[in-house]
Structures are given as structure tokens and as C-alpha cells.
């Protein structure tokens, strides 16, 4: 299974918020045991959808502020509430807002809705590698993946340069 869960980013306002769509078109094997006869998307995948969008928002914002590429890593899930059952092949609306951005961390609030019904809410904390540690890492493969994902998600540009939704 690929972990590229977002389908498209439809709104991006660095430093403020991002909006995307995702679908639960996962392989049938995922639902076979979760739960037999009543297929439910695992809550951890809803959290991952939010983390992917919030991570993009945090990374773009931090990179533009630092004038260099900064890549956030999810470190904490707080106040996660799974409020509704999400079955297979459903389209979800993901929204995230940046609450706080510091030199080494960030916090975002996220919400998942389906047809205007709230199905999950959470706060997510991200951390950045210290600059000396980041300088020792070969990030070539990760940066290539990120560039490809930006294009797939409908974004133009790449941090620390301006990033915008295609067509806006």
C-alpha cells in the first residue's frame, strides 16, 4: 500500500491553512478484518491524511520563513476524536490550520468531514531536524519524492520559493 493518501490540495495559504480531498479507496484486504461485514477505515489512516496535509502546510510555511527547505516530522497526536464511521470508497474533505510555528516545532489543528459531517478532529505536533543534523543527512531521495508529490497534489513551486495551487 502506498502512503500517499491525499488526492488533491484545493486551497493553500502558507502560515494559515490548507484544504485537500482524500478518498478511502484502499485495498479490500484492509477492510476484511476491520471489521468483517462492517468495513470501517482505521482511524490511524484518517490521522495520517491530516498529518500529510498539515505537514505540507508546516513545511511550506517554515521553508519560506527560513529561506531554505525545512521538512517536518509528525511527533505527537493530541486530542484526536474519531466521531463517525468511514467506510470504503468515500470522499473526504481535510482542513488544517496552523496554530503555532516555532523554530523547532509546529502545531496544527485538523478536521475531516464527509458531506459536511465532521468525522474526525485532532491537533498535531511536528518537529524539525536540528540544522546540524539535517546537514548530515542525504535528503536527495526525500526531496525528489516531495517534488513529485507537489505536482501530483496540484501545487506549483517548491519551498522555499512560493507555492500555490495550480490555477489560482
CB atoms within 10 A of CB 54: 29
pLDDT digits (tens, 9 = 90+) for 85-127: 999 999 999 999 999 999 999 999 999 999 999 999 999 999 9
Q: Catalytic site residues?
A: 34
pTM of the shown model: 0.95
pLDDT digits (tens, 9 = 90+) for 152-167: 999 999 999 999 999 8
Q: How far apart are CA 168 and CA 26, in angstroms?
A: 30
- Please compute the mean of the pLDDT values over residues 51-58 and round it to a whole number: 98
Superfamily name and number for 6-155: Hotdog Thioesterase (3.10.129.10)
Amino acid at each position: 500500500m502506498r502512503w500517499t493518501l491525499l488526492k488533491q490540495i484545493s486551497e493553500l495559504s502558507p502560515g494559515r491553512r490548507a484544504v485537500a480531498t482524500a478518498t478511502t479507496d484502499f485495498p479490500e484486504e484492509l477492510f476484511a478484518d476491520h471489521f468483517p461485514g462492517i468495513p470501517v477505515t482505521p482511524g490511524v489512516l484518517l490521522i495520517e491524511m491530516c498529518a500529510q496535509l498539515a505537514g505540507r502546510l508546516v513545511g511550506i510555511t517554515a521553508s519560506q520563513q527560513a529561506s531554505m527547505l525545512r521538512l517536518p516530522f509528525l511527533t505527537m497526536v493530541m486530542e484526536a476524536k474519531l466521531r463517525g464511521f468511514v467506510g470504503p470508497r468515500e470522499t473526504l474533505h481535510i482542513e488544517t490550520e496552523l496554530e503555532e510555528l516555532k523554530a523547532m516545532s509546529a502545531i496544527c489543528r485538523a478536521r475531516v468531514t464527509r458531506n459536511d459531517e465532521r468525522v474526525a478532529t485532532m491537533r498535531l505536533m511536528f518537529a524539525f531536524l536540528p540544522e546540524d543534523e539535517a546537514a548530515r543527512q542525504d535528503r536527495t531521495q526525500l526531496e525528489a519524492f516531495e517534488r513529485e508529490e507537489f505536482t501530483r497534489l496540484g501545487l506549483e513551486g517548491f519551498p522555499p520559493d512560493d507555492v500555490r495551487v495550480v490555477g489560482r
